[in-house]
Amino acid sequence: MRSLLKPLSRDLVAAVAAWGLVFQANAIDERPSISIAHENQKAKVTFAGTLLAAETLAGPWSAITNADPPYAAELTSPLQFYRAGIYPTNSIFSSTSVVVLNLTGPFQAYFDLAFAGLPDGMIPPVREKPYFDGTLRMPGFVVPVTIRVRGNSSLQECPFPKLKFKVSPANRVGTPFADAREIKIITHCAEGGQGTIGRLREQAAIFREGVAYEVSELMGFLTPRLRRALIEYHDTTPPTNAATSVGWEITRQAVLLEDLELVAARLGGRVLLESELPWLVAADFDAQLVADLQLFNALLGNWDYSLGWDSRGVWNMDVLELPDGTGKRLMPVPGDFDLSSWVTGVVRRSSPWDYHPELGDLERETRYQLEKLQQRVEPPLFASARQRFVMKREALEAHVGRARLDEEGRVNAQHHLSVFFAALDLFP
């Protein structure tokens, strides 16, 4: 968008147009333009691009459909401000740079409502996670959003829990959220140390998990889009007599993750509900994909999932129901890697105590997982899965070498790769 105009006096038009220049920081591919003049007691708006209107400068902004230039606006119209833009605008996921955001809302009140950071104990608390109103700011945009706390086991050890926000149809027009109305935020969890369940509770874990999603994409698995971010959170919880501090401000690294509901919608399907997943015991998944995903999780050292091969059904892994000719098929989608040793740097052992005791923890656990997989699946499936990873080895190593993450995390990820491929060599 090029400028922002209000159909009143010429002086006010000029002032608002100058004010509107702050919105050019996120200008879109083409060059929309707008000008205004008074004619026959109306404001004549001449524009190139999509004409957007709002009652206040802060929005929400809506596209005026079927508007052709010049557009005649009544001076008494409640729509006081106009701007021109391209719709849809560049997506928030169209860049790989770190985006700087500001999120404002009563976070602490809703953290407390979810008992964030409090272990379950003998009598687990009722963790409420309703949506609440907030505001997102980024260069060129001020967007009303609704936010909620998310997470299950992570709520037991993360006083700063994972989040999710939505942008309404009216508020996302002409913004970077036009095609990304629901976004998950992977947050830093806490200010250091290891959680009781095993999470790395600091912001270094965030970009490490982001690289795990990028590895998933490189391997060709269905993966939501992501964007690294630096988020300034501003808590607006009203002060009370409660001991919990409120009104804080904090800036931490984060990863924005496209909600899988949007991925499913693009494919003409849906995401199965959490309540449906425990029933997917021995689910009719593609056998080759399951074998490939087992190898992928072994690479990451991820133990916090199930694919329905036992009485637990599917957990900690989303499942999409997609159209398939005249029927439907179920597709598991990997995700939620915050407990993997790829992220935490700590290996969780499941191998017997006497299984290759001469090996290091990661070497022993990786070999054990691959051995179990080879025994479980048909030889052609294992061979095909193995070949899929071998063919991607150079690409994976190159990506980890240049990825944006802390150096300790890079060394850890490189160690996982070398151990994984060394173990694969033992299973031709």
- DSSP collapsed to 3 states, 206-270: HHHHHHHHHHHHHCCCCCCCEEEEEEEEEECCCCCCCCCCCCCEEEEEEEEEECHHHHHHHCCCE
**56-60, 324-328, 359-363: which has the minimum mean pLDDT?**
56-60
More confident residue, 63 or 240: 240
Residue 344 in this model has a pLDDT that exceeds 50: yes
Query: β-pairing, 132-138 with 141-149?
Result: antiparallel
Separation between Cα atoms, residue 87 and residue 71, nearest integer Å = 18
Confidence label for 9 from pLDDT (cuts 50, 70 and 90):
very low
Q: What's the confidence (pLDDT) of residue 363?
A: 98
Separation between Cα atoms, residue 202 and residue 194, nearest integer Å = 9
Q: Which residues pair with 226 in a beta bridge?
A: 257
Separation between Cα atoms, residue 269 and residue 344, nearest integer Å = 33
What's the predicted TM-score (pTM) here?
Answer: 0.80
pLDDT in tens, 268-278: 899 998 888 87
Return the structure tokens found at 324: 């398939």
Residue 387 in this model has a pLDDT that exceeds 50: yes
pLDDT in tens, 401-418: 999 999 999 999 999 999
Q: What's the confidence (pLDDT) of residue 31?
A: 56
pLDDT in tens, 197-253: 999 999 999 999 999 999 999 999 999 999 999 999 999 999 875 556 788 999 999
Residue extents of the structural domains in the chain: 4-85, 99-258, 270-424
* Mean pLDDT, rounded, for 133-158: 95
Q: What is the mean pLDDT of the chain?
A: 85
* Mean pLDDT, rounded, for 386-405: 97
Q: What's the confidence (pLDDT) of residue 23?
A: 29
Q: Which amino acid is at 143?
A: V
**3-17, 261-275, 316-330: which has the minimum mean pLDDT?**
3-17
* Mean pLDDT, rounded, for 54-62: 67
